Amino acid sequence: MVNLKKAKKRLVFLVNEIEKHNHNYYVLNKPVITDFEYDILIQELEQIEKLFPELKGSDSPTQKVGSDLTAEFEKMTHKYPMMSLSNTYSLEELNAFFSRVEPLLEEKPQYVCELKYDGASISLGYKNGRLDYALTRGDGVVGDNVINNVKTIKEIPHFVGDDVPANFIIRGEIMLQKDIFNSLNNLRAERGEALFANPRNAAAGTLKTLDAKVVSERGLTCFLYYLLSDEVICENHFDNLVLAREWGFNVPPYIKLCNTHEEVYQFIAQWDKERENLPFETDGVVVKINSLKHQRQAGYTAKSPRWAIAYKFSAQQARTKLLSIDYQVGRTGAITPVANLDPVLLAGTTVKRASLHNADQILLHDIRVGDIVLVEKGGEIIPKIVGVDKSQRVENSPAYKFISQCPECGTNLIRPEGEAAHYCPNEEACPPQIVGKLVHFTSRKAMDIEGMGDETVETLFQKGIIRNVADIYDISFDKIIKIDRMAEKSANNLVVAIEKSKQIPFSRVLFALGIRYVGETVARKLVEAFHSIDNLIKADKERLLQVGEIGDRIADSVIDYFSNPKHMLIIERLKAAGLKFDTESNAIQFNSDKLAGKSIVISGVFSVSRDEIKNLIEINGGKNLTAVSAKTSYLLAGANPGPEKVAKAEKSGVTIIDEVQFRAMLEN
């Protein structure tokens, strides 16, 4: 069905079509299609960009909105990151969660069970009792402020009174109930328009509609389920929800405070049966530790809170025909087979593609082109094939043979011992690998080079300006100003952004290199242990294995990466360009227990990055906190600290120190 070439052709068509309708709507004020039809075009473009992220450019219509009505949505940083939840699909995995988290706590915890609502996440900020902003999840760090649309939702109060914290955040889910969703689709059917796939997509699309009047007409609702504040409101999550309900928030009744594991199981079993009778969609139960103190003790991973987990109800299955198999090449060279299916409705969504994971999965299920396959949604973005109806198989159907050569560059594939995936080893010349590494390097969580999105990277690669990450720092205004559609201002901004990226701390530079299995957390652990790239390069396997969270696979990958002369040449070029390959020269990097037992909140701007300051606190025995309370040891205040945190510290009697005093504490 859809391979990269076809997807690119369809994407070009959609972009041109959407831009034409944007011009009709915003400039000419003569729209020729309905809002619903426009939403469908956007959704299809988003789906292609999700399946083929290398095709998404920074100027895609999915990345910008019209400028006449509400202009484009304001981007705001979440005060507290909106992290994702870990998922579990069985009681055995839920028990494993209990076994992981409970040893971290001082005593056996209570749990709060809530239904998992299938909608669009929202974070509402209140200031002096009034709704101040409403952020979508975005990328978890930055969201779109959709406050004008949110104000049309009747369950969301604009003012909750004076007897509340001066500043607090409450989070929840914006949804369409089943009857309203069905009414919308019935109206679309009468008009001969394509139907919305499911209530969640309809709610999310509506939330991003630029006309607040249209939003108000679509009947969105909102459940709220998580209260956040620098002030301690209640000591536990359940009481916070009860209080939020008293303030006038629409906290749903589908919540239970559980003292035992058995009570958690009972809640799950109850709603697994009764969910079909609910007026809205739910796909599981969220289990959270109740005590906020216990939540802090459990902590967080890089992506998720350790104190909460989502139990997903049994996945739904559908039967359809496997039409063909495509192969995608990732930035590490991993080859992923993807099934193209005869479109089938599954859990309210039309499914056309499904993951096959690797050759072993194809062999395990004896999957063949032309088979009637069982497709399941198990919480993944792309559904997966879990079986074959062999009674429907065509006689003498040939067994499927996994490809032996890279579909992009023709290089013979390899399969490392002990791994399930096949890889293209041609990392220096296989186009999708090169572009993937460049996109990863320039991404926000890595070198954060603004203006160097996927499409710009692809263009620079195609023009021969960059072939590896070191080439980025040879880019000059003269080299890029001649590129089509590269305006003088954009070229200047890109050169400035590249120069600015040289201040990115070592841990993120290490992550940006794209060493296999070295994610953000592992990169930070390696930096804490070795402090410089030279020390890391010289480390043998035994020394690497002494670092927390580093196992054989990561250690072997690190050693293999630095044993490649081409990688070493790139690192030397990056060093020469001025990137940071050691911990900040003016930071103290020895390990100690000088801050043992101390809880520190940081605020403001320092002589080094905030990540480096946090690292200093941790490697010297201290603990980083995000909010000031009476139990905080110090507020470490840099230039322009948050006035609310300073006021809270003064009120709570918390000692406020500056960076000079902080360094003196470590030196003495």
Q: Is 42 helix (H, G, I), strand (E, B) or coil?
A: helix
For every residue of 224-255, which 3-state class applies, written as one string? Answer: EEEEECCCCCCCEHHHHHHHHHHCCCCCCCCE
Q: Is 587 helix (H, G, I), strand (E, B) or coil?
A: coil
E-strand ranges in 501-622 read: 599-603
Question: Kind of pairing, strands 599-603 and 623-625?
Answer: parallel
Contacts of 99 (CB under 8 A, 6+ apart): none
Q: What is the DSSP string of 620-662?
A: TT-EEESS--TT--EEEE-BS--HHHHHHHHHHT-EEE-HHHH
Q: Are 196 and 185 contacting, i.e. CB atoms less than 8 angstroms apart? A: yes
Tokens representing 232 are 């301690």
Identify the bridge partners of residue 423 per DSSP, sorted by sequence position.
334, 414
Tokens representing 611 are 């990540």
Cβ count near 615 (within 10 Å): 23
Consecutive H or E run containing 115: strand 111-117
Q: Is 381 helix (H, G, I), strand (E, B) or coil?
A: coil
- From CA 466, how far away is CA 475, in angstroms rounded? 8
Tokens representing 498 are 């590249």
Torsion of CA 37, 42, 44, 50, to 10 degrees: -160
Consecutive H or E run containing 15: helix 4-22
As to burial, measured by CB atoms within 10 angstroms (0-12 exposed, 13-18 middle, 19+ buried), residue 109 is: buried
- From CA 505, how far away is CA 585, in angstroms rounded? 11
As to burial, measured by CB atoms within 10 angstroms (0-12 exposed, 13-18 middle, 19+ buried), residue 191 is: exposed
Q: Are 264 and 287 contacting, i.e. CB atoms less than 8 angstroms apart? A: yes
- From CA 514, how far away is CA 567, in angstroms rounded? 11
User: Of the listed 56, 116, 384, 437, which one is catalytic?
Assistant: 116
Q: Which residues of 644-659 are buried (b: 16+ CB within 10 A; e: fewer)?
A: ebbebbeeeebebbeb
Q: Is 334 helix (H, G, I), strand (E, B) or coil?
A: strand
Identify whether 538 is a catalytic site residue. no
**DSSP single-letter state for residue 26:** I
Tokens representing 414 are 């390899």
- From CA 444, how far away is CA 393, in angstroms rounded? 47
**Which of 91, 511, 102, 521 minimizes the C-alpha distance to 302?**
521
Phi, psi of 132 (to 5 degrees): -105, -35
Q: Residue 625 corresponds to which amino acid? A: L
Cα 424 to Cα 234, 331, 335, 516, distances in angstroms: 54, 10, 7, 14
User: Which residues belong to the active site?
Assistant: 116
